Amino acid sequence: MDGVFIGGCRLGECNYITHGNYHALNLTLLCKRIMEYIGLNPDRLRVEFMSAGDGNLFVDIMDEYTQQVREIGPLGKSEGIEPAELEKRLAKVIKQIPYIKIMTNEKMGTHLEDPAEYESFFTLEEVSKLFTEMISYYIDPEKCQACMICARRCPVDAIISAKKEVHVIEQDKCIRCGSCFEACPDRFDAIIEIPGGEPVPPPPPEGERAIVKKDKKKAG
């Protein structure tokens, strides 16, 4: 899409206690900043709030926005991004949506009342860190007991699991949602959080993943 317009009820006037229009605003502000981060014009995305009686206002806004998108031009082409490169950048963002939602969840509950706060609510530096400092997860082969709990909890089947074999996280498939970290039983504590930028240790090679049970010390 060359442009996307989001319309909602006036802030503070929602009929539902969830006040979803505040969340929609915050999500839009985040998406605009992500667009900027990957090289797209954030003005392609717009959100406005009005009542059912604001017909004339709606028409004026849509006329203005339509003209704005026409002036910006086709998606990617106007920004000087080749179609294949644009697809690659968008795919990277889409893959990290679960991680982004987790990392921004607390902030999404904010009720912004002053439009002057919109521009600085999400900064380019903040969004950049979401992609450059992503936490990775690694299963410690010395602690894994092949219980398969983490594999069952993984929403994208990114964990190679087999009975009596050390489990392995496929880093290319992992979306960094942290489900495996939360699911791993405390008695095993086998999954390690690795800060962004640090290399993830290689997993044991196939054929060398058998669980080795440690002999219990005999009571003297």
CB-facing half-sphere around the CA of 49: CA atoms within 13 A: 17
Q: Is the pLDDT confidence value at 164 over 90?
A: yes
- Is residue 43 a contact partner of residue 68, using CB atoms and an 8 Å limit? yes
Mean pLDDT, the chain, as a whole number? 92
Domain ranges of the chain: 4-132, 135-220
- Per-residue pLDDT reduced to its tens digit, 174-194: 988 889 999 999 999 999 999
pTM over 0.85: no
Residue 132: HSE in the Cβ half-sphere, 13 Å Cα cutoff: 9
Structure tokens, 117:
């706060």
The Cα–Cα gap between 91 and 116 comes to: 32
**What are the tens digits of pLDDT across the range 95-133?**
889 889 988 999 999 999 999 999 999 999 999 999 888
Check residues 130 and 216 and name the one with the higher pLDDT. 130
Which fold would CATH assign to domain 135-220?
Answer: Alpha-Beta Plaits (3.30.70)
